[in-house]
Amino acid sequence: MEPIQSALKKWMKENKNFQENYNQIRNDILNDPDVNEIIRKHPEFTGRDIDRNLMKLYEFRSQSKQCADCPSLAQCINILPGYTPYLEVEKSDIHLTYDKCHQKIKSDEQQQKQALVKSLYMPRDILEASIAGLDHKDAERHDAIRQAVSYIESIGTKQAEKGLYFHGPFGVGKTYFLGAIANELAEKRISSMLIYMPEFVREIKASLKDDSINEKIEHFKKVQVLMLDDIGAESLSAWFRDEILGSILQYRMMERLPVFFSSNYNLKQLEHHLATSTRGDTESVKAGRIIERIKQVSKEVSLFGYNRRG
């Protein structure tokens, strides 16, 4: 039986159009500036070496280099979307390798930052909040903005062991402050978790059914930065106040891990709220214990301004 390679060469000779097309493609490949540069640097290449590696050179030439011909990462034209080709030479062999392109690297970095901000029932606009979006023109917010910026600048120092307790009227942007700080922390590769307090209470109660409560509590205890949004908006049982919230705050206080809060109550008002259980009992001592822990893990900051939801 005639070897397939010999048969292919014979067929190419007998088919003039194919031979012409092949030669045109070969010339186009060799005239490509990047390919030409490789060949110029390796004068030892013979015509046979080039023909043997022509498919690799064709694959290299036909693809976008470092996003030059790709409108976006989603519209990448390359065989491996997000990866740019490189040619490497070893003796008379050409190897085609791939590495992440600029847009892929940027996209991966953004995803890594977003992964550092975990949320439990938080709207998208809060997760996309920024320090620049804090409305610096509103004089009533200047102190809160200064406190937020000061905390970001203190990362790595003893000052950063305490978070911030934002309190003020409904709709002034307290939750947005938490989201903005969380995103600034992500830029510094510090993970945070934002929790909407009323849903957090329901989540913990639901986890009693599937025995996941201990695992969840451990995570809330140990995350680098914990953020409890709208504390005081929920009705707490004595069990949740003492065994769940108290346990989490106690651990973070001992380990010097910061907690951020937002609330419609200042700390004195929150203490009164926590003292009254869902059964109507008043337990001032236990509520006071929670407040003391909050003071150990955060600094009270008032936040005022117009209602941004109105």
Question: Which pLDDT score is estimated for 297?
Answer: 96
Q: What is the end-to-end Cα distance of the chain in Å, rounded?
A: 85
Smallest CA-to-CA distance from 132 within 91, 177, 186 is with: 177
Q: Which of 7-21, 230-244, 245-259 has the highest average model confidence (pLDDT)?
A: 245-259
Q: Which residues contact 35 (CB under 8 A, 6 or more apart)?
A: 29, 57, 60, 61, 87
d(CA 291, CA 206): 26
Q: What is the pLDDT of residue 1?
A: 41
| Strand stretches in 154-274, DSSP E | 163-167, 192-196, 225-229, 259-263
Confidence of residue 49 (pLDDT cuts 50, 70, 90): confident
| Residue pair 220/118 in contact by the 8 Å Cβ criterion | no
Alpha-carbon distance 18 to 60, whole Å?
Answer: 22
Domains and CATH numbers, the chain: 4-100 (no CATH), 111-302 (3.40.50.300)
- The answer, yes or no, to whether residue 3 has pLDDT greater than 70, is no
pLDDT higher at 137 or 287: 287
| Residue (of 163, 145, 166) closest to 154 by Cα position | 163
Q: What is the pLDDT of residue 166?
A: 97
Q: In this predicted structure, what is the pLDDT of residue 6?
A: 65
Question: Minimal CA–CA distance to 78: which of 107, 101, 106?
Answer: 101
Q: What is the DSSP letter of 276?
A: B
CA–CA separation, 96 vs 213, rounded Å? 51
Residue 248 confidence (pLDDT) above 90: yes
- Please name which of 181, 175, 178, 185 lies closest in space to residue 113, comparing C-alpha atoms: 185
User: Facing residues of 97 across strands?
Assistant: 86
E-strand stretches of the chain: 83-90, 93-100, 117-120, 163-167, 192-196, 225-229, 259-263, 298-302
Confidence of residue 2 (pLDDT cuts 50, 70, 90): low
Least confident of 35-39, 176-180, 298-302: 35-39
pLDDT tens sequence across 55-67:
888 888 888 888 8
d(CA 91, CA 105): 31
Share of the chain above pLDDT 90, in %: 35
For the sheet with 225-229, list strands across it. 117-120, 192-196, 225-229, 259-263, 163-167, 298-302
Q: What is the pLDDT of residues 288-307, one digit of tens each?
A: 999 999 999 999 999 987 76
Does residue 216 carry a pLDDT above 60? yes
pLDDT, residue 92, reads 82
